[in-house]
Every structure is written in structure tokens, then in C-alpha cells.
Amino acid sequence: MEPLYRTPTLKTPEVIFNPEEGVFSIKGKSVPEDAAAFYDDLLTWFENYAVSPNAETVLTVDLEYFNISSSKRILFILYKLNDMLVSGKNVRIKWMYNEIDEDMFEVGQDYAFMVKIPFDFLSYRLDHLEMAV
């Protein structure tokens, strides 16, 4: 299966779905004007991936901010992963968040309650130089 990569922009996250290397991540900011257009091919990719997934699938989500329409599409991705879990596959989510961003931590907890996938909540701290960039 071909990897899927999307370069980050000011409005869309970096996306790396590489089953050969076992790297699955969504990172950055997600505020596209048309979330359906951005996320539809990601959802289709996971549908195809679910046919013959890796022994373990770990999706890392490290979003600094996302809008409501992105939130819905992210949930759709989690539902696809949840279907894989229910069918007996090994699936986990690594939910990354800045330690001072309680909202993003709580959003991750909300998602964790909506699916059966185990979530690992991993906080990090940005220094002042990183935050200023």
C-alpha cells in the first residue's frame, strides 16, 4: 500500500500515513475551509489500509488547534480505527498535547470516550523559543 503524505500549511496539518515504516501521524493546525475535501482521501486511505493492516497501528495526533469541521473528520478517522480494533486488530492512539493546553487534553479525553481504542496521553512542554516561532 502506498504511503499518504500531506505537507503542512498554515491551515492544514502534516499527515504521514506510512504503513511500511509504521508511522501514522497528524500534526499541526487543522482549520481548512473545506474539511471534507482535505480529510476525504485520508478516510479512504484508512478504509483501504484496514483490509490488510500492520500487526499494530498507532496513530499519533499532535494538533495545536482544529475547528469544528476538522473535529468531525478526525472522529471519522477514529471510527475507522475503532472498526479495525473491533475486528481484532491491535490499534492505539497517542494523543499529544502541550502541557499548558488543557482544552486539547480534554478534547482527547472526549474522543477516547467515543471509541474503544486505547489512548496514551502524552504531554510536552514548549520552550519560549518554540512558542514564538
3-state secondary structure of 130: helix
Contacts 24+ apart (CB under 8 A), 43-50: 43/73, 43/76, 43/77, 43/80, 45/4, 45/17, 46/17, 46/77, 46/80, 46/81, 47/80, 48/1, 49/1, 49/17, 49/19, 50/80, 50/83, 50/84, 50/87, 50/89
Position 3 scores a pLDDT of 97
All domains of the chain in start order, with CATH: 4-132 (3.30.750)
Position 49 scores a pLDDT of 96
Position 117 scores a pLDDT of 97
Position 128 scores a pLDDT of 46
Position 126 scores a pLDDT of 75
pTM of the entire structure?
Answer: 0.91
Interatomic CA distance for residues 8 and 16, integer angstroms: 10
Give 10-residue mean pLDDT values along the chain (133 residues). 96 97 95 96 95 94 96 97 95 96 96 97 74 43
